Every structure is written in structure tokens, then in C-alpha cells.
Structure 1
Amino acid sequence: MIQMAKSTAKLDSSPATVRQRIRRRSDLPKGESLCDHCTAKCCHYFALPIDEPVSRKDFDFIRWYLLHDRASVFVDEETWYLLVHTTCKHLQADNRCGIYETRPQICREYTTDDCEFDDDWCYERYFETPEQIDEYADALFGPQFEQVGLRKQDMIRSRRPTGLPVV
């Protein structure tokens, strides 16, 4: 039987150590600011609601978004969003705002009441590549280039070239 040695070491309560121990909102000591224990998730991206795609053309616009670096699209509570992964240029190394006193109104109105501090970031749908959105559109509308009666001027992308025969 293995016996565990009792630790007589005092718990380290330095801000850095406390920050590492805080994993859930419920772990936060009463009266402390949630931002003191966060990695500033809210300052490393922005998400804008976009229209729900209802046509091939709409999906092609989303495909265009996904052709850009650090862009993705997600659906949360039936709303579609363009997500741009980019860090605020005023975020400091300690995860604090460098222009706090003159920060934009959107930052002033944002509260930690429903922030993503301990969020798992799971969405109904999440697209990171143009191929993923194409596959999703194909599942909704059927394969684009097998549609009977589809005129060339109605197509939104070029056909894939015919593959070379395998010898």
C-alpha cells in the first residue's frame, strides 16, 4: 500500500498561482474581478452576425470569408457569425487593456456576466475551410455540378478538372 505524505507546505496565494487555479467561474473568490483570472479570450477575436445562407450564392460568400487567414464561421443558437481570430492591438502582456480609459463603447458595454471565461466554445456548426462549407452546401442542395438544367452563367465556381487516368 502506498502512503501519501502529508504536505506541510503553505499554499501559494500569489496572483499568478491563484490565476492558474481558477478554472471555473464558481472557483472565483467572492468580490474578485473575473478579468483578473482570465487570458482575455474576448480580446483575441471578434464575431459579427451574418445572414443565414439560403442559396448557393450565399454559401459562396461564406466560402470567400473562409479563404482569408484567421477567419471562420459558426452557428450559435441558430444565428450565423463570421469569426475573425485577431488580437486587439491594445491588449497588453498582462491581458489588460492598454487604453482602458478611452476604450470603445462596445468594450465598455461588455460584461463578464455571460462572457466565455469558462466556456467550452462548442457551436452548432463550425466551419474553418472553404471545403467544409462546400460540403455542407452540397449536403443541403445536392452536388453543385450534377444539377440538371444548371446553366453555366448560374454556376458560382469552376468545374474541377477531369483527373488523369491511372496507368
Structure 2
Amino acid sequence: MKLPRTKPRRADLKAGENLCEHCTAKCCRYFALPIETPTERGDYDVIRWFLLHDRASVFVDDTTWYLLVHTTCKHLLPNNFCGIYETRPQICRDYTTNACEYEDDWTYEQYFETPEQLHEYTEAIFATSDKSAPIRSPKPSGNLPMLQRV
């Protein structure tokens, strides 16, 4: 069963129609800041620290690393419009809908939501650079119970 569209596609809007009238204000529910590209284990540990905080994630887009903080602007109204539109900050004034995330289909090269994900990624990177370190997990000990076939 195909669900009905809840908002029109960008391409289907009429000339002069405001895209924001159909949006969930995704751009007002987070902010992302570029961070230094990690190159050493210590750099990854700093990023892991970011991920230990609620509502933080990290993504890589076009080789640039970003800290993403999932937090809603305190002036976002229940109808998804800006409560301080006339006095909004310059960054909001400069933002356009030309390349916004209205379509909800954006993906990133890499996306980390938990410190465990980043730790696993870090271990994989540094293990492969050390040719003596094994890539695979160690073989389990013989003390594990056998699964029975039914």
C-alpha cells in the first residue's frame, strides 16, 4: 500500500509559492558546524566526546566533518514558522531554500550517532594502517554453548 504524499514536491510548487509553507522547518531543528578532519587517534577521541552528549551526531559531507546538534530554535512556532522573522539573525536571513533539505532524502558519506560507532570506525582505520594488527575479530573461545538445530 502506497502512502499519500503529505507535502508537494519542490518541482510541483507554483511560481511564487513559498516552500516553507509546506515544510517541517528542518533547518530550524538543528545546527551543524564544521570541525577539523581527524587524523590521529586523539582527534577521534575528541569526536567521540561530542557523541557522548545527548542530541549530537557527526557526519562527513564532501570530505568535510561536521558536528550536528539536534536542537530546536526557541523561536520556532507550532506552525513551523519563525516567531522573530522580522528580527531573525543574519544567518537565517542569508539562508535560502534553493538547496535546503525539504525533500528529506539527504544522505551523508559517513554518519555517526553513537560513540560506539565512532570507536568501531576508529579501530578499523588504525588497525588497517598497522599491517601486523588483524582485521577480523578474534576467534571465540571454545567455552560458548553450541546452538541446537530444530
Map of 1:131 onto structure 2:
116
Distance 1:139 1:28 in 2: 46
Q: Quick check: 1:61 aligned with 2:46?
A: yes
Encode CA deviations 1:63-114: one digit per residue, 9 max, x unaligned.
0000000000000111100000000000000100000011000000000111
2:6 to 17, 20, 25: 20
Any residues of structure 2 matched to 1:1-167 within 5 Å, and which? 20-22=6-8, 24-142=9-127
Q: What TM-score, normalized by structure 2, do the two folds share?
A: 0.80
Q: CA deviation at 1:121?
A: 2.3
One-letter identity of the residue aligned with 2:106: W
Encode CA deviations 1:96-144: one digit per residue, 9 max, x unaligned.
000001100000000011111114121000000001111111111129x
Moved over 6 A (4+): none
Contact 2:51 2:115 in 1 (8 A): yes
Q: CA deviation at 1:21?
A: 3.9
Structure 2 portions without partners, runs of 5+? 134-142, 145-150
Structure 1 portions without partners, runs of 5+? 1-18, 149-164
CA RMSD of aligned residues (A): 2.1
Number of matched pairs? 129
One-letter identity of the residue aligned with 2:116: E
> Identity over aligned residues, as a percent?
68
Distance 1:74 1:34 in 2: 26
